[in-house]
Structure 1
Amino acid sequence: MAPDLSEALQLIDAAHSEDPNKVEINGQSIPYELHYAQKMTKYLDLHTPDADALVRTAARAQHFRRWEIPRDSYPKTRPGYFAWRTFLKKRQAEQVKQLCLGCDYSVEEADKVAALIAKEELKKGEGKGDADAQVIEDVACLVFLDDQFDEFEKNHDEDKIISILQKTWVKMGDRGHQLALAMDLSPRAKELVGKALAG
């Protein structure tokens, strides 16, 4: 039996719609995580239009119920940040795996979606990682640049922002780089990206 992608996306979006954090888009207030998920799908369509159901599910569910575990529930330190991220990835992966199993995904298919959400198969060092995992990573980086970067950079000094951009660039593949360079970024974002790539 084939995965019921339509049902899975409906359930994922229903969960996103419960996010109490709102964002104003074209004069309309919508839950932030629903907005984020829609951006993930938008950039996935640009990056890999023929992505299969498993990649589409993982992209749409990247931040599944993230608001339930706020950043300030962990210490405001670097180890605290990584502990928060690690817990979130495992929690989101398991929740979405169970959702997939209820939508006619096989155990293997649900496990694959969970692995993509948990980022278990990204390339390490010189090794070649999972191609689907790289697609998800590229798309998440593109959404960061498009949707979060301008607000994020206001709260950090330039050297830190340039370092973050350089690390983000290393995470991305060739197709991600191509789309990032073609983005209609703000003048300040373009300036910082230029400095990061020149460094």
Structure 2
Amino acid sequence: MITKLDTALAAIDDANSADPNQDGGQPASKLYGQRMSEELDRLFPEASDSLKLAARGQHIERWILPRGTYPQGKAGYHAWRRDLAKHHASRVGAIMAQAGYTEDEIDAAARMLRKEGIKRHADVQALEDVICFVFLKWYFAPFAAKHPDDKVQDIVQKTARKMSEAARARVLREFDLPESLAAAFKS
């Protein structure tokens, strides 16, 4: 039997299949969403459907709002990120509504995707922890190879600050980081 979760996940994957950006021969956003789901299942096996759909839809149609269409600098970057979050929340919400989810479930996913209540709301923080684990597991090494050490250190520190205490401790157990980078996760 196909559940509403199956229907919504398939719709997110279908939307992300149109990503013109490729990663390992696959649409980048679709692959990212699948990695998010895998990591969520590993870290939070009892996650709600809203959290599962927020994780899978974290980058839904991200290519629609290219970073280059926003001004350079911090203000432009933050405007781009805010607009992306609103788009992701809207698209995932529409998919959830079509699959038969309640307004409360849709609102919960939207709140997570907009990162409202990070460090205060368990599901929002869980999504952020998953995002950070996916970054560290699949995207950190390529990022680090292209950037100077000070930029890598800065990104690692920002990543660690976003994570819960439990997630930071888990990073130290699961990743073999040099001491200079591991220090960001100790606290």
The TM-score normalised by the length of structure 2 is 0.90
Q: Please, which moves more after superposition, 113-122 or 151-160?
A: 151-160
User: Residues 197 and 106 of structure 1: is their aligned pair in 2 closer, same or farther, counting only changes over 3 Å?
Assistant: closer
Q: Name the structure 2 match of 1:17.
A: 17
Answer yes or no: is 1:146 the counterpart of 2:123.
no
1:163 pairs with one of 147, 154, 170: 154
Distance 2:30 2:170 in 1: 23
Deviation string for 1:134-156 (max 9, x for gaps)? 10000000111111111222333
> Are the counterparts in 2 of residues 47 and 175 from structure 1 also a CA contact under 8 Å?
no
> Are the counterparts in 1 of residues 171 and 185 from structure 2 also a CA contact under 8 Å?
no
Alignment length (residue pairs): 185
User: Residues 79 and 178 of structure 1: is their aligned pair in 2 closer, same or farther, counting only changes over 3 Å?
Assistant: same
2:170 pairs with one of 161, 166, 179: 179
Q: Please, which moves more after superposition, 155-164 or 32-41?
A: 155-164
SS in 1 for 2:47: coil
1:66 pairs with one of 47, 62, 66: 62
Structure 1: unaligned runs, 5 residues or longer:
124-128
Q: Quick one: percent identity of the two aligned structures?
A: 38
> Are the counterparts in 1 of residues 169 and 185 from structure 2 also a CA contact under 8 Å?
no
Deviation at 1:6, TM superposition (A): 0.9
The TM-score normalised by the length of structure 1 is 0.85
Q: Which has the higher helix share?
A: 2
Distance 2:164 2:7 in 1: 31
> Are the counterparts in 1 of residues 29 and 59 from structure 2 also a CA contact under 8 Å?
yes
1:194 pairs with one of 163, 182, 186: 182
Q: Name the structure 1 match of 2:48.
A: 52
Q: Please, which moves more after superposition, 73-82 or 172-181?
A: 172-181
SS in 2 for 1:182: helix
Where relative contact order (Cα < 8 A, 6+ residues apart) is larger, the structure is: 1
User: Residues 9 and 197 of structure 1: is their aligned pair in 2 closer, same or farther, counting only changes over 3 Å?
Assistant: closer
Q: Give RMSD over aligned pairs.
A: 1.9
Deviation at 1:85, TM superposition (A): 0.4
> Are the counterparts in 2 of residues 163 and 196 from structure 1 also a CA contact under 8 Å?
no
Deviation at 1:196, TM superposition (A): 3.9
Deviation at 1:195, TM superposition (A): 5.3
Distance 1:47 1:104 in 2: 26
